[in-house]
Amino acid sequence: MCTFSADFKWLIAATSDSSIKTWDISSGKLVDWFTVTPLCVSLTMSPSGEYLVTVHAGSPGIYLWANSTIYSNVLLHPLPETYDPLQLDLPMITMDGRDENNEVAGEAEADDSVPEFKSPEQISDELVTLSLVSKSHWLNLLDLDIIK
């Protein structure tokens, strides 16, 4: 099964070998590939492009995967022919509300290792600087306090 991103730039497919692959449609190249167990039986992108939603065989519920290109500047390059996909585990919560790392759900520590983005200098006072960031990225800025 497969789905398109909201802006139709990517084709995302779940395959029978437990892989989830993302192709850049304009270049026809594979740009992301990871595997999960159990097998993904259904997937779709949220209308805003923020999340990939998956359903897995034998697992009750749905899984949301955040689209990192929305929240940070990520350049997607074609994967090399020798690329070995990442094996990702599905998150699980136990009956007492703690996850695998013994953290209470919703109380994950903030990741302070992310470097702060430094905006480039303005080229000229007569020019306007534009961004190639997607519309959904700017819409998320309105909710930045909630996200943090």
pTM for the full predicted model: 0.61
Determine the Cα–Cα distance for residues 94 and 71; give it in Å rounded to an integer. Answer: 29
Task: Kindly compute the dihedral angle of the four CA atoms of residues 49, 55, 59, 61, in this order, to the nearest 10 degrees.
Answer: 60
- Give the residue from 135, 139, 52, 53 showing the smallest Cα distance to 147: 139
Q: Which CATH number fits domain 2-88: 3.40.50, 2.40.10, 1.10.10, 1.10.3470?
A: 2.40.10
Query: What are the extents of the domains in the chain?
Result: 2-88
Q: Indicate if the alpha-carbon torsion angle 35, 39, 41, 47 is positive or negative.
A: negative
In a structure prediction context, what are the per-residue pLDDT tens digits for the chain, which is 148 residues long? Answer: 899 998 899 999 999 999 999 999 999 999 999 999 899 999 999 998 899 999 999 888 899 999 888 877 777 789 998 999 989 988 776 666 555 555 655 555 555 566 676 666 777 777 777 666 777 777 777 777 787 6
